[in-house]
Structure 1
Amino acid sequence: MAMSSATINRVPALKEFDDTKTGVKGLVDSSITSLPAIFHHPNICLSSPISTHLSIPIVDLSLPRPIAVDLIRSACQDWGFFQLINHGIPLSTIDNTISAVRSFHELPATIRSQHYTRAPRGGVSYFSNMDLFFSAAANWKDTLQVTFSPVRPEVDMIPEVCRSELVAWEEQVKVLGREVMGMMCEGLGVSSGRLEELTCLEGRWLVGHYYPPCPEPNRTLGSVAHTDVGVLTVLIQDEIGGLQVKSVRDECWVDVKPIPGALVVNVGELLQIISNDEYKSVAHRVLANSSDEPRISVAFFFNPGKRGDVDLYGPLPELISPENPACYRNLKMSEHSKLFLGKAVTCNCITQHFKLP
């Protein structure tokens, strides 16, 4: 695809920023007072409707299982998002994980930059903007990414300042992910282990995002509007806030207000396909940080572990009937990966591509 003149003109500035290997945090540390042009988002539309009376569902896992399953099913159908409380993971573990990610991003630049790479080493990478060279504008955030499975990372490659906390968090979320997926399956009326049979617990990675205070938050975003392309995402966030979900019914943005100890769970595009549109993957974004403190979030992604040419993923046969035909064709994970790697982060790239006429 040919690059526009605007894109070509941005390339030297993008490369100069990337070559610092210190990300957005490096810009903040240099005491900048205005936003570099590469972060200016065209048509940012921050004035689009934001609801003050809507909120995403809250699911209490201490409720009787049939009630919790029904709440999860409704949330996945109507919102694609919910906040999970009384899930059994201690608040101290959540706080320690968030603090560890912050500690990494606030290491001295000379140490932090040693981990900076766009080609993961040992399953670990630190970078600013995965799609830096493909997007219309950069987002005001930096990211530490750790791939835990299907190939276990070299633990020594995980920065020591957050190593034990991230390994411990992966163990906790893996157990929680199995429980939530089982309940999602029950909500679909299929066996509770159905997603696990499809190896949807076996592909796991974590991203620890750091959103520094922004000098001009009205000109950029922390994360552009997008949908997650995998099966399931489990996210923890600090008290700063800024995450917004697009309401399917009301076409407005809804704040995901931080709840101490809560986990934010959302449906990925692949789960929308597997559920044959019963569950919805919904657009979400993060506003640029207008507070005086950095915002931290840690997202944990679940995806199929089997990725061979014979491993196909599509609508569950149990959900298909003459009255409810398949909405999507089957796909390989290699096809899935090609659609978003090396491209700008966007919305519904997977569901649109595999949708049947």
Structure 2
Amino acid sequence: MGEVDPTFVQELEHRPKLSLIEAKGIPEIDLSPIFHNEVPNPSAIESLVKEIGSACKAWGFFKVTNHGVPLSLRQRLDEAARLFFAQSLEEKKKVARDEIIPTGYYDTELTKNVRDMKEVFDFYTNDPFFPLTPHENDDRVIQWCNPTPPYPSNFRVIIEEYIEEMEKLARKLLELIALSLGLEAKRFEEFFKYQTSFIRFNYYPPCPYPHLALGLGRHKDAGALTILTLNEVEGLEVKRKTDQQRVLVKPTRDPYIINIGGIIQVWSNDANESVEHRALVNKEKERFSIPFFFNPGYDIEIKPLEELINEQNPSKYKPYKWGKFYVHRTNSNFKKQEEENLQIYHYISYLRERYFNKCMT
């Protein structure tokens, strides 16, 4: 093994363990009642809502089958992604992103100030608008336009077709989550009129020091919902809520892996929690993953929903603007920060802070 690049090396407490625990308990949920039944079955849908609610509370992660996304489309997307990443670095950098508009290709991303052992390509839906800076008093916005990779020639067309399918699935999942919280099915719809969702292609090359580095460092997703597809190489680790152990998720070909993000944690006033996870690397095999991040408009204010707040359950978070929050987080992907990048717990309300302080004394 050659000399280890120190920018990839994790602190000792965060390095991968040699013995891994497989996460057998992540629920697998059949979406047939909403995608494959011409006539809705209220009893089946009610049961499905309960399954979704239980999975969100117990794990924050679950798998879905019979989701309506054609396998042939996923296969075309996988093949196009492999062809893109197989190009020379010079070719891939023709669609490189920058600190102003972070769409496209990148290979030096940081998570919690440590470089990830991966390459990525990001593509946003509908060339969305974002704040130019995360500063509260700066009202300027900028449009994040997607570059079109020249190779493979049909890459953009396949991506856009796939994004349409992801949006359909994400909206259905949010309806089920809303119902599981006792809300109207369409309660979240208003927040996604002008969305900032995007698809990410992750390529994790074989790594000579998998015991020191991570493909993607520990983190919690900040958005609303993540829909993930993996190849056959293991790597996703989830922190189990019951005992805080990191457990390995067995990769699946057809089911999607779903996890809720920080926005739903805030909207639900902590009824559902975003869960920490990370990605391992393999010494001999390359690994691919394709997450779709379903996110609201940049100007949406994120705060606990009024229907879920009462005297016994007061609001646990102060409001924040999604666009400002996201731009602040994205900036930390490019260079080391003196402080930890922005997290939803930075918006814990005064009442909750007082409760925590009382518990600590």
TM-score by length of 1: 0.82
Residue pair 2:196, 2:297 contacting (<8 A) in 1 also: yes
Q: Name 1:157's counterpart in structure 2.
A: 148
- The amino acid of 2:125's aligned partner reads F
- SS of 1:244's equivalent in the other structure is strand
Shift in Å, 1:137: 2.6
Distance (whole Å) between structure 1 residues aligned to residue 343 and residue 113 of structure 2? 20
Give the 3 Å change call, closer, same or farther, for CA 89–39 of structure 1 in structure 2.
Answer: same
Residue pair 2:298, 2:324 contacting (<8 A) in 1 also: no
Distance (whole Å) between structure 1 residues aligned to residue 268 and residue 73 of structure 2? 32
Residue 90 of structure 1 pairs with residue 70 of structure 2: yes
CA deviations on 1:174-226 (whole Å, 9 max, x unpaired) are 11111111111011110111111122772211110000011111110011010
User: Paired residue for 1:251, among 237, 244, 249?
Assistant: 244
CA deviations on 1:277-311 (whole Å, 9 max, x unpaired) are 01110000001223x3311111111111151xxx4
The 5-angstrom pairing of residues 104-183 of structure 1 reads: 104-119=84-99, 124-131=103-110, 135-149=112-126, 151=128, 157-161=148-152, 162-183=155-176
- The amino acid of 1:301's aligned partner reads F
- The amino acid of 1:51's aligned partner reads I
The 5-angstrom pairing of residues 23-102 of structure 1 reads: 33-43=2-12, 44-47=14-17, 50-52=20-22, 54-63=24-33, 64-102=44-82
Shift in Å, 1:57: 1.2
TM-score by length of 2: 0.81
Residue 226 of structure 1 pairs with residue 219 of structure 2: yes
Q: Which runs of 5+ in 1 are unaligned?
A: 1-31
- The amino acid of 1:62's aligned partner reads S
Shift in Å, 1:141: 0.4
Q: Name 2:312's counterpart in structure 1.
A: 323
Give the 3 Å change call, closer, same or farther, for CA 169–93 of structure 1 in structure 2.
Answer: same
Q: Name 1:15's counterpart in structure 2.
A: none
- The amino acid of 1:248's aligned partner reads K
- SS of 1:198's equivalent in the other structure is helix
- The amino acid of 1:299's aligned partner reads P
Shift in Å, 1:49: 7.7
- The amino acid of 2:32's aligned partner reads S
Deviates more, 1:144-153 or 1:162-171: 144-153
Q: Name 1:4's counterpart in structure 2.
A: none
Q: Name 1:29's counterpart in structure 2.
A: none
Q: Name 1:10's counterpart in structure 2.
A: none
Deviates more, 1:142-151 or 1:186-195: 142-151
Distance (whole Å) between structure 2 residues aligned to residue 99 and residue 48 of structure 1? 31
Residue 207 of structure 1 pairs with residue 200 of structure 2: yes
The number of residue pairs the alignment matches comes to 319
Give the 3 Å change call, closer, same or farther, for CA 328–257 of structure 1 in structure 2.
Answer: same
Distance (whole Å) between structure 1 residues aligned to residue 25 and residue 194 of structure 2? 28
Residue pair 1:227, 1:348 contacting (<8 A) in 2 also: no
Give the 3 Å change call, closer, same or farther, for CA 207–347 of structure 1 in structure 2.
Answer: farther
Shift in Å, 1:154: 5.6
Q: Name 1:298's counterpart in structure 2.
A: 290
Give the 3 Å change call, closer, same or farther, for CA 306–150 of structure 1 in structure 2.
Answer: farther
Distance (whole Å) between structure 1 residues aligned to residue 214 and residue 222 of structure 2? 20
Shift in Å, 1:58: 0.9
- SS of 2:316's equivalent in the other structure is coil
Percent sequence identity over aligned pairs: 29
Distance (whole Å) between structure 2 residues aligned to residue 194 and residue 140 of structure 1? 39
CA deviations on 1:110-165 (whole Å, 9 max, x unpaired) are 312212232466x7320014337xx5431110000111146297676244412222
